[in-house]
Amino acid sequence: MRFVDEFRDADKAHALAAKIAALCEPGRQYKLMEVCGGHTHTIYKHGLEDYLPESITLVHGPGCPVCVIPMGRVDDAMHLAAQPDVIMTSFGDMMRVPGSQGSFFDAKAQGTDIRMVYSPLDSLKIARQNPDKRVVFMAIGFETTAPSTAMTMLRAAAEGLANFSVFCNHVTIIPAIKAILDSPDLRLDGFIGPGHVSTVIGCRPYEFIARDYGKPVVVAGFEPLDILQSIYMLMVQLSQGRSEVENQYSRVVPWDGNIVALKAIGETMELRPYFEWRGLGFISHSALKVREKYAAMDAELLFEVPGVRVADPKACQCGEVLKGVLKPWECKVFGTACTPETPIGTCMVSPEGACAAYYNYGRMNRQRVPEAAEASRS
């Protein structure tokens, strides 16, 4: 298939694997973090780690939108959904995320009106079709999905739709990366930058990582060769002692981002003073809320939201996994108490979550390709 197979070419992958292996300094360990959950998914789905020598470890970062939603926030959403005349709409991933009282799916089975949508615009359709109901969209995601929420709000405002509101849980990636960089228990050598987020915010916001923290960043696409090439570009920088922001995904990501999308977000949303992230705790200026101008569409103002803080189960080590301190399988409850069927932590829920990806795709003995195996022996 055109525009897909080219980016999954095994011959090119073998060639890249050899070049990557050649750049590994004997005895040195490399830890590279892929920030975005979409990358984690690609890495596991295509078995990309088979192409890497043992000395390169991929650390799975915090860029999985549902993984960073704290339990209390899910409970708040369930409370909202249970209000009279409310139809809650949500992306599919969110449906299985457990709060302290179960997930959206469980609530749905008990009769709460929760509907899965593919786009926030579908929520508008539901709102138009049900004028006597109050339709709430459970908005989640990084800068990738925030513009579509923003555009939906603008459309609702233009139509004068009075029964549509947004429960805003959008988060921003930069403060999360900064929190990880400032975390004392983590040593990273470089970052595979999030591709989709960067289509909106561009590459400039990562410059502080290279400048202030001395870590190279390569913004990467989502096909397996994109990621392998980005790892190669990171290894070249590391071998030359450089730390710069580079754009591997230039076919999609403009250096300055998407101004129209940024404007739409700026028009409808503003930064919260602080927001709780699952496992990472409260991070200041790390999330978005609905601007006062659009208060009529802010579910947090329209409804009483309990805002209860629910502590994560102590046994759950999602925080350490999100920060990359622990590999998924190193978590105490991984695979026994916490499985994709009965996830305790959010990392086990989304196909983009590090734990779910490892459990579903990587639960096996790895067999490296010859190029990578040879480098592992030396």
Which residues contact another protein (rule: CB under 8 A)? 1, 4-5, 8-10, 13-14, 44-51, 92, 95-96, 98, 100-102, 105-106, 108-110, 116, 118, 224-225, 313-315, 317, 320, 326-327, 329-342, 344, 351, 359-367, 369
Token pair recorded at residue 248: 């591997």
290 and 300 Cβ atoms separated by less than 8 Å:
yes
Q: Which residue in the block uniquely carries the two structure tokens 């190279």?
A: 216
Q: How far is the CB of 135 from another protein (least distance, A)?
A: 17
Three-class SS state of 134: strand
Beta carbon nearer to another protein, 238 or 369: 369
The DSSP 8-state label assigned to residue 346 in this structure reads G
Give me the phi and psi of 369, to 5 degrees please.
-70, 160
Alpha-carbon distance 88 to 97, whole Å?
A: 15
Alpha-carbon distance 103 to 90, whole Å?
A: 12
Q: How far is the CB of 6 from another protein (least distance, A)?
A: 12
Beta carbon nearer to another protein, 69 or 288: 69
Q: Which residue in the block uniquely carries the two structure tokens 């539901």?
A: 126
Beta carbon nearer to another protein, 113 or 267: 113
User: Radius of gyration (Cα) for the chain, nearest Å?
Assistant: 21
Alpha-carbon distance 98 to 349, whole Å?
A: 8
Q: How far is the CB of 335 from another protein (least distance, A)?
A: 4
Beta carbon nearer to another protein, 18 or 157: 18
Closest alpha carbon to 343 in 27, 74, 49, 23 = 74
Beta carbon nearer to another protein, 160 or 314: 314
Alpha-carbon distance 78 to 104, whole Å?
A: 7
Q: How far is the CB of 334 from another protein (least distance, A)?
A: 7
Q: How far is the CB of 218 from another protein (least distance, A)?
A: 19
Q: How far is the CB of 296 from another protein (least distance, A)?
A: 28
Alpha-carbon distance 226 to 249, whole Å?
A: 7
Helix (H), strand (E) at residue 12 = helix 10-23
Q: How far is the CB of 242 from another protein (least distance, A)?
A: 29
Beta carbon nearer to another protein, 52 or 201: 52
- CA end-to-end distance (rounded Å), the chain: 38
